[in-house]
A = this chain, B = another copy of it.
């Protein structure tokens, strides 16, 4: 019994594991239970696209018939990069000796082997299934024979409204610094006091540095919801602003309309936010990640995203930078994204940096526990939180993030 216990314990993931996503790591294996975003459909041209995902060098391509493939980057023959291959004859052909692979990794042709050789059919290159949904490309990198259904993420479905997919953003720090930042609403009132959040005027200066809203953290089927409230404009009402974190790595922010699009009146509506702002985080490796951002707007404003783009362009840092100031991330104050990059980019890796946490970090602590539980569930070979069951394949995956005025719940 002692042995068993010791063995079990040694397999339990701890906080430091969250930073590491390579093959065979606890967090890496957990990540491989979900579909992850590996590219944007409109950015995949008629050439192979090398991409590093979860520590693996891969190549993404669309064959001449439109089928999507994601193969190990290096040819199984002698290792040359398939990034330089030709898309032709139903697959991707290695430039060195012409081996041809279809999107399943099956070798279809070896020009230098005898015409009657059985060797091609024996060679199957490592491949992962890829699905397109609403303009994003999702891959499943797990070892399960039958991947779970691709979640029908709400803003990626064609249900009316306007949709925008931003150009991919690349960051050179650990993915979890970004992700858990959303479990920490206090930083919005503090770090972002110089930018959009500090300037918005609805909801009794909702994100005030000196009068912060109340924070609650609610575990959800998909992960966690951050609920921020303040007393409302009328008796028995409250202002509410909710953010959601869905496993393995999605963030939903609901207040784009009034923080960035400056539609304060809209925020006062009781029906809540009409702009979903989802960010899909995909680790390239432990030090880099990609950010895929999708907005879906269902309100009445025409050309909403053109309007939003103009306003975002004005959110430039307001900081004066003196000639003697050579700091790398300057200026940052006044632009939410640059503020985030500066803080998250200098933190170091979770589990390696030293920390002292307070009561305002309870959302972070709760969320780390939710992620660790999910990782340990995957280590136990059970279905972790947020993976779609086959019976739920048709359900819409929503993150019910409310922003606006509602009856008080206290």
Contact = CB atoms under 8 A, between A and B. Distances in A.
Interface of A: 43, 45, 47, 50, 74, 76-81, 83-84, 95-98, 110-114, 117, 119, 123, 184, 186-187, 189-191, 209-210, 212, 322, 324-325, 327, 329-330, 332, 339, 342-344, 346-348, 353-361, 364
A13 B183 CA distance: 49
Contacts of A189: 111-112
A181 to B, nearest CB: 9
A79 B110 contact: no
A367 to B, nearest CB: 13
A47 B187 CA distance: 22
B332 A84 contact: yes
A112 B364 CA distance: 14
Contact of A353 (B79, B113, B190, B364): B79
A119 B360 CA distance: 11
B111 A190 contact: yes
A117 to B, nearest CB: 7
A364 B329 CA distance: 44
Given A191-B95, A346-B74, A84 B358 contact: no
Given A97-B186, A339-B95, A113 B360 contact: yes
26 contacts: A45-B322, A45-B324, A47-B322, A47-B327, A74-B346, A76-B355, A77-B355, A77-B356, A79-B348, A79-B354, A80-B347, A81-B346, A84-B327, A84-B342, A84-B343, A95-B332, A97-B190, A110-B358, A111-B189, A111-B209, A111-B212, A112-B212, A112-B360, A113-B358, A113-B359, A117-B358
Contacts of A364: 78
A212 B329 CA distance: 53
Given A84-B330, A95-B339, 6 more contacts: A77-B357, A80-B346, A84-B343, A95-B190, A110-B360, A111-B209
Contacts of A80: 342-344, 346-347
A351 to B, nearest CB: 11
A114 B347 contact: no
A105 B50 CA distance: 47
Nearest to A114: B359
A51 B231 CA distance: 46
Contacts of A78: 347, 353, 355, 357, 361, 364
Nearest to A210: B111
Contacts of A343: 80, 84, 95-96
A114 to B, nearest CB: 7
Nearest to A344: B80
B96 A191 contact: yes
A51 to B, nearest CB: 12
Given A80-B347, A358-B119, A112 B190 contact: yes
Contacts of A344: 80
Nearest to A43: B324
Q: Which 4 A-B pairs have the closest CB atoms?
A: A112-B186, A81-B346, A112-B360, A79-B353
A47 B330 CA distance: 12
Given A343-B96, A354-B76, A84 B348 contact: no
Contacts of A356: 76-77, 123
Given A95-B339, A346-B74, A353-B74, A117 B359 contact: yes
Contacts of A74: 346-348, 353-354
A357 to B, nearest CB: 7
Contacts of A212: 111-112
Nearest to A347: B79
Contacts of A209: 98, 111
Nearest to A49: B327
